[in-house]
């Protein structure tokens, strides 16, 4: 983390960065704090201990730090616009870059919920909006992108603790295939869906991480008949670029 402002008090700046991260992510480990600040774990530990001592953080389960009583007092927290509103400019930017139907979705248990989208109406053959539609995560590009952020154990726990998911019972999920898909997603950085969720659809998605407590993703969908050999790499590049811009802009 570079200091480009000679008047900045670095220790105060670092503490404020940690407070922002705790609010955005819900909790923070020493390792995560160290990486975010680009400092030694011992330095991150001292900062977190200071925030805890002053009541702005508290240590919870698994030695993770979360917002403390002082930060959560009425009047201290400023309400932010909903995720859909904050992400909309970046969704529009993605649409301008790719010219295909794009969506913002979140992960809820083992399903994805489409909260916003922009329809590529200029194409004679196009993929329509799915705003308001709920689909099983393991057969969608957005679902794979978000599930890939989780550990193997977390993924399986999600499916084994729910009686059913959209599209069939949890017991019908092929975990071996799912984990192969998620390994591929982690390697590429994007999730892919070729006619798994719906016939005739090709879709790619990127996870945006957890924002305001919601695990979110951007996706691009188009008719598979128009999906060319170079489209995968091109669309993936735009997804990754736009996701990086969103994280820089609103996190």
CATH number, domain with residue 202: 3.30.450.40
Sign of CA dihedral 217, 223, 226, 227: positive
Last residue of a domain, one of 67, 94, 110: 67
Q: Determine what percent of the chain is predicted with pLDDT higher than 90.
A: 55
Please report whether residue 241 resides in a domain: yes
Residue 4 maps to a domain:
no
Q: Which of 223, 188, 227, 205 is nearest to 138 (CA)?
A: 205
| CATH assignment of the domain containing 29 | 1.10.10.10
Establish if 74 belongs to a structural domain. no
Query: In degrees rounded to 5, what are phi and psi of residue 89?
Result: -60, -35
Same domain, 33 and 128: no
Position of tokens 């726990």? 157
| Same domain (yes/no): 144, 177 | yes
Q: Is residue 141 included in any domain, yes or no?
A: yes
Whole-angstrom distance, CA of residue 209 vs CA of residue 135: 19
**Residue 165 pLDDT > 50:** no
Task: Tell me, yes or no, whether 173 and 202 share the same domain.
Answer: yes
Residues near 190 by Cβ (< 8 Å), separated by ≥ 6? 141, 145, 204, 205, 206, 236, 239, 240
Residues 62 and 90 in one domain: no
Same domain, 144 and 235: yes
Q: Are residues 232 and 129 in the same domain?
A: yes
> 190 near 204, Cβ under 8 Å?
yes
> What pLDDT score does 77 carry?
57
CB-CB contact of 127 with 98 (8 Å): no
d(CA 170, CA 136): 10
For residue 191, being part of any structural domain is answered with yes
Helix (H, G, I), strand (E, B) or coil at 136: strand
The predicted-structure confidence for 82-117, as pLDDT tens digits, reads as follows: 888 889 999 999 999 999 999 999 999 899 999 999
Comparing CA positions, the residue from 49, 67, 66 lying closest to residue 11 is: 49
Longest dimension (CA), the chain: 62
Co-location of 163 and 199 in the same domain:
yes
Do 113 and 235 lie in one domain? The reply is: yes
Residue 36, domain member (yes or no): yes
State mean pLDDT over 216-242: 95
**Alpha helices for the chain (secondary structure H):** 10-25, 30-37, 41-53, 83-98, 141-147, 152-160, 175-188, 231-250
Domain end marker among 67, 92, 113 = 67
| CA-based R_g, the chain, Å | 20
Same domain, 142 and 196: yes
- Tokens for 103, please give them: 């969506």
**Residues 30, 118 share a domain:** no
Domain count, the chain: 2
CA distances 170 to 107, 140, 143, Å, are: 16, 16, 15
- Please give the average per-residue pLDDT across 206-212, as a whole number: 91
Q: What is the pLDDT at residue 63? A: 78
φ, ψ for residue 100, nearest 5 deg = -125, 165
Residue 2 forms part of a structural domain: no
Give me the domain span that covers residue 42.
10-67
Beta bridge partners of 151: none
146 and 235 share one domain: yes
Statement: residue 62 has pLDDT above 90 = no
Q: Is the pLDDT reported for residue 9 higher than 90?
A: no
The predicted model gives 46-67 an average pLDDT of: 85
CA-nearest of 116, 129, 113 to 82 is: 116
Q: Are 42 and 158 within one domain?
A: no
Does the residue 72 lie in any domain? no
Q: Output the pLDDT for position 1.
A: 47
Residues 6+ away with beta carbon under 8 Å from 178: 138, 147, 155
């Amino acid at each position: 983390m570079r200091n480009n402002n000679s008047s900045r008090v670095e220790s105060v700046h670092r503490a404020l960065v940690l407070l922002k991260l705790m609010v955005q992510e819900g909790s923070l480990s020493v390792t995560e704090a160290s990486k975010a600040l680009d400092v030694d774990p011992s330095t991150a530990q001292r900062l977190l201990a200071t925030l805890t001592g002053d009541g702005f953080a508290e240590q919870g389960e698994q030695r993770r730090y979360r917002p403390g009583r002082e930060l959560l007092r009425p009047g201290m927290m400023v309400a932010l616009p909903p995720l859909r509103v904050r992400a909309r400019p970046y969704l529009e930017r993605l649409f301008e870059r790719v010219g295909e139907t794009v969506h913002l979705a979140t992960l809820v248990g083992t399903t994805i919920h489409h909260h916003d989208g922009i329809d590529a109406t200029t194409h004679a053959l196009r993929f329509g909006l799915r705003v308001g539609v709920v689909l099983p995560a393991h057969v969608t590009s957005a679902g794979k992108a978000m599930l890939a952020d989780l550990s193997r154990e977390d993924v399986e726990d999600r499916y084994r603790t729910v009686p059913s998911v959209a599209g069939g019972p949890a017991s019908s999920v092929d975990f071996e295939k799912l984990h192969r898909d998620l390994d591929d997603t982690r390697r590429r950085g994007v999730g892919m869906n070729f006619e798994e969720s719906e016939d005739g659809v090709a879709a790619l998605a990127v996870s945006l991480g957890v924002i305001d407590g919601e695990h979110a993703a951007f996706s691009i969908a188009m008719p598979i008949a128009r999906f060319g050999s170079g489209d995968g790499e091109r669309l993936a590049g735009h997804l990754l670029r736009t996701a990086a811009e969103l994280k820089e802009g609103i996190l």
